[in-house]
Amino acid sequence: FSLSLKLEKKAKGKLQKQICQVVLDHFEKQYTAELGDAWSSVREVLTSPWCWQHAVLLNRFSLSPGLESSLAEQGYHPAFPAALPYLPAAFRCYSSAAPGRFPAQKHQPGRLKDYYLLNAASLLPVLALEVQDGEDVLDLCAAPGGKSVAILQCACPGHFHCNEYDDLRSRWLEQTIESFIPDPLINLIKVSKLDGRQIGHLQPESYDKVLVDAPCSNDRSWLFSADPQQAVLRLMQRKELSSLQFQLLRSAVQALRPGGTLVYSTCTLSKAENSHVISLILNSCREVMPVDISGMARGVSQEFTFLSGTQHHELLVLPEKGRAWGPMYVAKLKKVSS
């Protein structure tokens, strides 16, 4: 017992040392101002990776017999209640209040994985999108592919366009799709490496649903930047992210058909990259209106902690001990006319 305690302390100490102080100082200043009292408990979770949780999204195309009973035996429970307004029967995700990670499966060419490990909050943008069979769907910034895989657990789109501009991340996306999706369905999926800011111009009014899971200042990973110089550079470039996010959103609006819906998400707590970007698009695009997602937030309130005081068309998941999901910002919009 004493050895395991020592190892745990050593692991904690090692992880603690890896926290990038320059990033933590920056977050401390910004998020104390933006989140107030909520920041101290969020900071405690973000800086304590040993208390992070991982959900298990089952792959409907390759279900291993006994997997669900094995998850139940290990204390996992369905992460999303059946009472949610939109929860397809095939969509099954399990989570546990205990920290830790279910064993990962390695990529094997020609063999599908049974499940995807992820932050449960990252599924909220997919559920907010409410994809139906036969719809034309665009995942504008799709790598590493978790949300694309999740969309295909919900429905079978008529056409599914997964885009990733970065070359390395695009290869990662292709491997993820190959690991989870059977050949007949892969033929419905188009993977491209286009500049997301140009897609609306290249393919105007082509999609019923668009997901913009935008590049953002990833609070969890940035806090553990191994290279302090890279961290400083990231923080300097952070100011430019909201401009990129706005341009991606504007492109997504162009790509959307009238009557279509768009979901915007990030994994940062930053107001500049979240509600400010959405306010800017609502103020500058007359054809876009907000969609109420407060019902979805209420439906999953047992599983997630949300920042209070947000608008009805947005939510922000705050990490908390025992519910260490997020950060995850989600906003939903609808295109009313072209």
Residues belonging to the binding site for S-adenosyl-L-methionine are: 141-147, 164, 195, 213
CB atoms under 10 Å from CB of 198, counted, come to: 13
**C-alpha–C-alpha distance, residues 120 and 56, integer Å:** 8
Q: Which two tokens stand for residue 105?
A: 């499966």
- Tell me, yes or no, if 267 is annotated catalytic: yes
**C-alpha–C-alpha distance, residues 286 and 281, integer Å:** 9
Nearest CA to 46 out of 264, 234, 332, 327 is that of 327
Residues 93, 154, 267, 285: which is the catalytic one?
267
**Amino acid (one-letter) located at 191:** V
Instruction: Tell me whether strands 55-58 and 115-118 are parallel, antiparallel or unpaired.
Output: antiparallel
Measured over the CA atoms of residue 224, residue 26, residue 245 and residue 122, the dihedral's sign is: positive
**CA distances to 19, 29, 227, 231 from 25, in Å:** 11, 6, 15, 12
Percentages of the chain per state (helix, strand, coil), in multiples of 5: 45, 20, 40
DSSP 63-78: PPTTHHHHHHHTT-EE
**C-alpha–C-alpha distance, residues 104 and 331, integer Å:** 30
Check: CB of residue 273 under 8 Å from CB of residue 242: yes
Strand-pairing partners, residue 115, are: 58
Binding residues: 141-147, 164, 195, 213
Residues noted as catalytic: 267
